[in-house]
Chain A
Amino acid sequence: DARVTQTPRHKVTEMGQEVTMRCQPILGHNTVFWYRQTMMQGLELLAYFRNRAPLDDSGMPKDRFSAEMPDATLATLKIQPSEPRDSAVYFCASGLDIRMQPQHFGDGTRLSIL
């Protein structure tokens, strides 16, 4: 059963520190999405990629967040400097750029900024 892999699963750090979250999409998937979820609320889309190219990162605070795909098997989301309001669960999802196909979510990174 292929799954999206996210690391770390949990991260606790102090305000001002850099945070890097990683995602390995399902092999063969060419679209990758980053979502943020707070207190079991809605899924806020931060950024997404197709064939490693960023298509939309309008949901991301540009001054502190950055998202990249160094290669087809790795997507990263960085926060620098981190702030307490960044505390949330960050989900990565992957899919195929074929119409009418679902996204598959990873288990998320639970981030706490003290």
Chain B
Amino acid sequence: GENVEQHPSTLSVQEGDSAVIKCTYSDSASNYFPWYKQELGKRPQLIIDIRSNVGEKKDQRIAVTLNKTAKHFSLHITETQPEDSAVYFCAATEPGGFKTIFGAGTRLFVKA
């Protein structure tokens, strides 16, 4: 089955800097890659997603890139703000279905 690895496990940046979180997946047939943000004590919430027929997607300060050949995808946050501090999870959906495999998470700290 699918396996998703996520790096780094912890990331600390200064307010205004960019943050990049990287994930790799094992099943080349996976075709949907959502990213979730989880604030302390809250539920994971979808922030952006990308489908396998797209190489890049952007939503304001957040962008995702997908390299299908290398089987990796990344989350980029620009102009980070303290409210971006949270745990971020990448995920890959198994082919032909809806079962989603999550990475282990990245704890992002944005220092004011």
Contacts and interface: CB of A to CB of B under 8 A. Distances in A.
A56 B94 CA distance: 13
Label chain A's interface by main secondary structure: loop
B103 A100 contact: no
Contacts of A101: 32, 98
Interface residues of B, number: 27
Interface string A43-60: 101001010000110000
Contacts of B51: 100
Given A40-B87, A43-B89, A99-B31, A104 B102 contact: no
B99 A43 contact: no
Label chain B's interface by main secondary structure: strand
Interface string B25-39: 000000110101010
Contact of B43 (A40, A56, A102, A107): A107
A107 B42 contact: yes
B43 A106 contact: yes
Interface of A: 31, 33, 40-43, 45, 48, 50, 55-56, 91, 95-108
Nearest to A107: B43
Interface string B76-107: 00000000000101000100111111111101
A49 B45 CA distance: 21
10 contacts: A31-B98, A41-B104, A41-B105, A45-B102, A48-B99, A91-B44, A99-B96, A100-B32, A105-B43, A105-B45
Contacts of A91: 43-44
B45 A42 contact: no
Given A48-B99, A56-B99, A99-B31, 12 more contacts: A41-B104, A41-B105, A42-B103, A42-B105, A45-B99, A91-B43, A95-B98, A97-B97, A99-B32, A101-B98, A103-B98, A105-B44
